[in-house]
Amino acid sequence: MKFNTKLIHAGVDPDPSTGAIMTPIFQTSTYVQEGPGHHKGYEYARTQNPTRTALQECLAALENGTDAVCFGSGLAAMDAIIKMLKSGDGVLASNDMYGGSFRLLERVFKQFGISNKLIPMQDPALVESSIEPHTRMIWVETPTNPLLNIVDIRSICEIAHKRGLLVCVDNTFASPYLQNPLDLGADLVLHSATKYLGGHSDVVHGAVVTKNPELAQQLYFIQNATGAVPGPMDCFLVLRGIKTLHVRVQRACENAREIAAFLKSHPRVSRVLYPGFQEHPGHEIAKKQMRDFGGMVSFDLIGGSEEEARQVLSKTRLFACAESLGGVESLIGHPASMTHASLPKAEREKSGLTDSLMRLSVGIEDVSDLIEDLRQALAN
């Protein structure tokens, strides 16, 4: 089954009781049993829910995995993954990772004895030399948030597996439409399904996909034991969003390509971060492991200050100043004070995340309107 067909049909069958073509929202907390232990596969909604089951089967198919395990948010999904480690273990991660991921590693798990080491992961040789005796997992984002660096997934997996380490790839920015890390050797793939998978800015959701049966069982256990599960309505909304993932992401990619070119030629813009540019240091790797270059673009102003960036943010009309990404509407954000405010200023600047950097999540509006919106905001 081709990918675009999977989006519509994977994990989803007409409801056997009614023939409903859309998976019903099974809004129930428990299930009647014929007797103790004699049930129809469902006992309690924290453990299983038919709407969640359909979504998990769909997500597993999209990432070419065998199991997907859903959670109440992307960070809840990450929390479950890190809980597979133990005190004394270490995580090697990107130094320009999402601020919430950094916060979880640094402010939550560090106090339980799980350490983290942050490095630029664009150079596989640096990754290899940075592995320490207690390292147990390499955490990859690609493209990274918000600097859009590209990490060579296959190379990192080869390095990790020689040492017996796990690799988890946060695939939120790319989505399964553009990139499938399991096919490149990753052990786990994480999604904030809030973003491109849901696609309509109306749900918070997370998921982990794997094709390793042992890891899947650990994740199912943690999902049930900790209870950070999504409700059936949330699962329904993600299932609905997935059906148009291909058309949404493709349009976002097309729009982002034109917007990146416009910004690159603008006299007030000093740099544009977009892996579709041939001069982008990760361009060739992106061409190999992605099907297109995504709908995210970041840029800086010439001699820009945080105050000037804030002026641009306040003047856009179609680009809404908001957290998150991956919806049908275009968003503009200021990572230093929004998504990455939890990173210390020194850490942000060391990775290249300046106080004037702005991040665009390009939506599916008419691209000429989006360009005109940026033009008037930059002119003012």
Tokens linked to 213: 């049966």
**Is 98 an active-site residue?**
yes
Helix H or strand E encompassing 168: strand 166-170
**Is 274 an active-site residue?**
no
Helix H or strand E encompassing 242: helix 232-242
Angle between helices 74-82 and 213-226 (to 10 degrees): 110
Name the residue among 88, 183, 95 with its Cα closest to residue 138. 95
Q: Tell me the DSSP string of 205-228.
A: -EEEEES-HHHHHHHHHHHHHH--
Helix H or strand E encompassing 361: strand 358-361
Helices (H), 38-152: 50-62, 74-82, 99-103, 124-130
Distances (CA, A) of 225 to 26, 67, 244: 21, 18, 33
**Is 83 an active-site residue?**
no
Name the residue among 182, 187, 149 with its Cα closest to residue 167. 187
Identify the active-site residue in 46, 154, 268, 350.
Answer: 46
Identify the active-site residue in 98, 177, 196, 274.
Answer: 98
Radius of gyration of the chain (CA): 21
Identify the active-site residue in 67, 96, 152, 170.
Answer: 170
Token pair 């995504």: residue:
294
Strand order of the β-sheet with 269-273 is 269-273, 296-301, 358-361, 331-333, 320-321
Name the residue among 101, 1, 141, 100 with its Cα closest to residue 60. 1
Identify the active-site residue in 6, 52, 136, 195.
Answer: 195
Paired strand residues for 94: 119
The residues annotated as belonging to the active site are 46, 98, 170, 195
